[in-house]
């Protein structure tokens, strides 16, 4: 019998953890081992992760427990949320005027952005203002065009939740993806090129293929649930597991509905595969003029669900570089056609998508250097050389 071997499935998320399939160690072939540290990786990201978790904890403490002399008087989270909601106009026409609407662990629903964030939103807007092009449709994993360099972000959600409308609002092109009132409109995985042309040395481009025209690929998917195609699971799951340049998923949930069992299942799957996940509520404008309370309640339920899943997979899924713990709120259908609308919270989501995909947002959007994808011989956990 040859030496035991582990096979690295995919480096996904922040490159700070690696899931390894235990194939030949006598373990269950379906089980996965999470390696948090791998040779030449880990130390810096560990520090960043700890800093992020300390920040979140500090934010939560400031809402939950009495602070020191310098802190504002302690208030419980429910009161903090009620106070925050008083600052947000319930008139749904006001939705279109908000570039960012989000609800986080450390901050109740807000439409405010700091000056630094406003710069990042402007940079993200310039990135998305480049004309978006349809790239290809794929029915199965093998139909996806090869991609060695451009980060991909996939848009997932139940049928009719507003995935295609969301994509159109992101890129400011009302007809980029087809939208319909009837559930089940999108039947294939459709890829779109977004953003400016990346600078990729010619020698790194696969022979016989043109250099990529866009810095980001967004993939619209068929919805699951009512009127969805039976083959959804297989095609999208294979893509999620094997697509090399996949850097994150945007999960859309309708703010006018409850969390479906299928939504819970999908979030669990993304947690399991350690895929960076951005959670976005759609259709905030539907219903009566109570959107701040409705969206805030749903975001709270979601944050609890996400925290539970994070714990279940050993923590680390929702923290780390490029990850956000906020739930974003949007009303894509309200974006004014013909120009890159900022209304309905789309600005904040643009910035969050770029961060998820591994870009740095300052005055310009730049691609972060990525850790080298580990493709050499796989070592056992005990053989890892610690720094
Ligand atoms: N009021 C409102 N309607 C929206 C919003 N987003 C989408 N819609 C509507 O919801 C319906 C479904 O939108 P789609 O974008 O086709 O939804 P989808 O998730 O792509 O649907 P499938 O491709 O069938 O899975 C359309 O009638 C849209 O106009 C929104 O933010 N507000
Ligand atoms: Mg669609």
* ipTM score of complex: 0.98
The two beta strands, 277-282 and 246-254, are parallel
Highest mean pLDDT among 55-59, 82-86, 178-182, 282-286: 282-286
Residues 132, 175: Cα–Cα separation, whole Å: 11
CA distance 212 to 2: 41
Ligand 1 within 6 A of CB of 286: yes
When pLDDT is averaged across residues 234-247 and rounded to a whole number, the result is 89
Ligand closest to the CA atom of residue 161: 1
- Indicate the SS3 state at residue 293: helix
Domain ranges in the chain are 1-69, 77-383
Q: Whole-angstrom Cα distance, residue 219 to residue 221?
A: 6
pLDDT surpassing 70 at residue 15: no
| Ligand 2 centroid, distance to 66 Cα (angstroms) | 47
**Cα-to-centroid distance, 118 and ligand 2 (Å):** 30
Alpha helices, DSSP H, located in 40-160: 43-64, 77-86, 115-128
pLDDT tens digits for range 287-323 = 787 888 899 999 999 999 999 999 998 888 887 776 7
Closest ligand 1 atom to 344 CA: 31
Q: How close is the Cα of 361 to the center of ligand 2, in Å?
A: 29
Q: Is the pLDDT of residue 216 over 90?
A: yes
Task: Report pLDDT for 20.
Answer: 44
Q: What tens digit of pLDDT does each residue of 62-83 get?
A: 444 444 445 555 567 778 777 7
CB 291 within 8 Å of CB 255 = yes
What is the CATH T-level fold of the domain 77-383, as seen in this structure?
Rossmann fold (3.40.50)
114-151 pLDDT, tens digit each = 999 999 999 999 999 999 999 999 988 889 998 988 99
Q: Is the pLDDT of residue 354 over 90?
A: yes
Query: pLDDT > 90: what percent of the chain?
Result: 35
| Residue 201 confidence (pLDDT) | 79
Mean pLDDT of 17-26: 42
Q: Give the rounded percent of residues in the chain with a pLDDT score beyond 70.
A: 71
Kindly report the pTM of this predicted structure.
0.77
Task: Indicate the pLDDT class of residue 225, thresholds 50, 70 and 90.
Answer: confident
Has residue 103 got a pLDDT over 70?
Answer: yes
Question: What is the mean pLDDT of the segment spanning 259-279?
Answer: 91
Compute the average pLDDT of residues 43-47.
43
| In contact, 22 and 28? CB cutoff 8 Å | yes
375 vs 124, more confident: 124
The answer on pLDDT for 47 being more than 70 is no
Neighbours of ion ligand 2 (CB under 5 A): 163-164, 185-186
Report CA(315)–ligand 1 centroid distance (Å). 33
Residues 330-353, mean pLDDT to the nearest whole number = 74
Q: What is the pLDDT of residue 130?
A: 92
Question: Poorest-confidence range of 42-46, 241-245, 369-373?
Answer: 42-46
């Amino acid at each position: 019998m040859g030496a035991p071997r582990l096979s690295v499935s995919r480096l996904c998320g922040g490159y700070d953890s690696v899931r390894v399939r235990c194939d030949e160690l006598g373990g269950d072939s379906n089980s996965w081992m999470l390696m948090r540290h791998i040779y030449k990786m880990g130390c810096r990201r560990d520090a960043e992760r700890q800093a992020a978790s300390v920040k979140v904890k500090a934010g939560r403490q400031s809402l939950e427990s009495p602070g020191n002399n310098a802190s504002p008087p302690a208030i419980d989270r429910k009161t903090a949320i009620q106070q925050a909601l008083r600052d947000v106009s319930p008139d749904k026409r006001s939705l279109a005027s908000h570039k960012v609407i989000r609800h986080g662990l450390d901050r109740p629903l807000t439409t405010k952005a700091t000056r630094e964030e406003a710069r990042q939103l402007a940079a993200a807007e310039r990135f998305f203002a480049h004309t978006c092009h349809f790239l290809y449709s794929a029915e199965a994993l093998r139909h996806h065009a090869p991609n060695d360099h451009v980060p991909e972000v996939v848009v997932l959600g139940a049928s009719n939740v507003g995935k295609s409308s969301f994509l159109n609002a992101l890129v400011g092109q009302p007809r980029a993806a087809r939208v319909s009132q009837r559930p089940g409109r999108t039947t294939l995985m459709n890829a779109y090129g977004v953003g400016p042309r990346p600078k990729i040395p010619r020698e790194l481009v696969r022979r016989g293929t043109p250099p990529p025209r866009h810095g980001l690929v967004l993939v619209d998917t068929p919805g699951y649930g009512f009127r969805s195609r039976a083959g959804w699971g297989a095609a999208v799951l294979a893509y999620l597991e094997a697509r090399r340049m996949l850097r994150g998923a945007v999960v859309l949930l309708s703010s006018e509905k409850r969390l479906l069992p299928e939504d819970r299942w999908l979030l669990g799957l993304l947690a399991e595969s350690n895929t960076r996940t951005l959670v976005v509520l759609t259709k905030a404008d539907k219903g009566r003029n109570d959107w701040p309370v409705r969206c805030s309640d749903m975001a709270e339920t979601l944050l609890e669900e996400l925290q539970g899943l994070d714990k279940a997979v050993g923590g680390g899924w929702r923290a780390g570089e490029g990850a956000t713990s906020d739930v974003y709120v949007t009303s894509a259908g309200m974006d004014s056609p013909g120009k890159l609308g900022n209304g309905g919270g789309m600005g904040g989501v643009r910035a969050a998508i770029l961060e998820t995909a591994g870009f740095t947002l300052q005055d310009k959007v730049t691609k972060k250097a990525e850790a080298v994808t580990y493709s050499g011989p796989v070592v056992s956990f005990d053989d890892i050389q610690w720094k």
